[in-house]
Amino acid sequence: MEESFTTELDRTDRKILRLLQDDGRLTNAELATRVNVSAATCHRRTQRLFQEGFIKSVRAQVEPQSVGLGALVMVGVVLDRSTPESFAAFEAAVVKMPSLLDCNLVAGDFDYLLKIRVKDMPDFNRLHARELITLPGVRQTRTFFVMKEVTDNAPLVF
């Protein structure tokens, strides 16, 4: 789904976006000072960036280890058919998986690439047997356990 953005971003808008990517907890007053505009102007601009879809959300990034989800797994999924109906059925089911972080339709060896967080390898084995291979249309999966996260959710550069 493509968004249609009605407003051009100027230098101040871009700076607001970059600062909020680095620290979503900045107060409006702190943000206004850093972009060198009044608090009222900063608030108005930030609200417009939300309303027009430039900012999707602001949320805390939880440390996975601290909540017992230390294993990151990437799973390539091949469907048995490449039809709009099979893609729709798979997508409707996969988004209901609580452990799923990301699901992307990709070009290449797989139809989808999934990013999943679990406790450990036995936890993933249970998830694989109970959920992954039972998803609609799944013909094959290839699993990659992440050994080291070099970067995660890096800020956009624009």
DSSP per-residue codes, 81-114: --SHHHHHHHHHHHTT-TTEEEEEE-SSS-SEEE
Residue percentage of the chain with pLDDT more than 70: 96
Residues 117, 101 contacting (CB under 8 angstroms):
yes
User: 147, exposed or middle or buried, with CB in 10 Å at 0-12, 13-18, 19+?
Assistant: exposed
pLDDT score, position 129? 96
Which amino acid makes up residue 112? Y
Split at pLDDT 50, 70, 90, the class of 127 is: very high
Split at pLDDT 50, 70, 90, the class of 3 is: low
More confident residue, 124 or 60: 124
Distance CA 80, CA 84 (A): 12
Q: What is the mean pLDDT of residues 122-136?
A: 97
39: tokens are 């608090």
Predicted TM-score (pTM) of the model is: 0.87
Question: What does pLDDT average to over the chain?
Answer: 95
pLDDT score, position 1? 46
